[in-house]
Amino acid sequence: MSQLPDNPDALYGDVIMDHYRSPRHRQRLERPDAEAEEFNPFCGDRANLQLQVAGSVSNDAVIAGVSAVAEGCSIIQASASLLADGVHGRTVDEASDLSQLFRDLMQGKPLPPVALEELGELGALEVVRQYPVRIKCALLPWVALEEGLRRLR
Ligand code: ZN
């Protein structure tokens, strides 16, 4: 297993470090339709996610509000921020598909170019696969997302 070098910038690249330093969608929602929290007792990472849809709750409802707050390492914070950017404006079903795509990416499944395009900036997190101990960190906000989406169905 790789050791983590001291300089995370060189390691993770610009997109991840940008989302780590300036996380998006951290503001809490006043009236979320769903909320979920996940905790990893091994490294103390925590992710809290709130979702709000436009109109009434359904699989086709557009996610109009997202709040993602993560505590822990740079990877979980960047992943939570990228997740929030990624699902904002998608429908509940589309967000669920994106989550599956992201899992496939993290598990090293070969993805067609159209899937990589769909992932957009999230593709930057593929680098985390080189540090297996961090894959759980990257996935934790997505576990919270899936729980939140389940509550919207
Ligand atoms: Zn972590």
End-to-end Cα distance, the chain: 39
Would you place residue 10 in the very low, low, confident or very high pLDDT band (cuts 50, 70, 90)?
confident
Alpha carbon dihedral 105, 110, 116, 119, in 10-degree steps, equals -20
Of 98, 77, 75, nearest to 87 by C-alpha is: 98
**Residue 22 CA, ligand 1 centroid: distance in Å:** 17
Structure token pair of residue 150: 């389940």
Single pTM value for the model: 0.92
Per-residue model confidence (pLDDT) at position 71: 96
Q: Which residue has the higher pLDDT, 10 or 67?
A: 67
**Residue 75 CA, ligand 1 centroid: distance in Å:** 6
Residue 103 buriedness (CB in 10 A; 0-12 / 13-18 / 19+): middle
Would you place residue 94 in the very low, low, confident or very high pLDDT band (cuts 50, 70, 90)?
very high
Mean pLDDT of the chain: 93
**Residue 135 CA, ligand 1 centroid: distance in Å:** 8
Q: Which residue has the higher pLDDT, 4 or 31?
A: 31
Q: What is the mean pLDDT of residues 131-138?
A: 93
Residue 54: CB atoms within 10 Å:
11
**Residue 15 CA, ligand 1 centroid: distance in Å:** 17
Say yes or no to pLDDT of 4 above 60: no
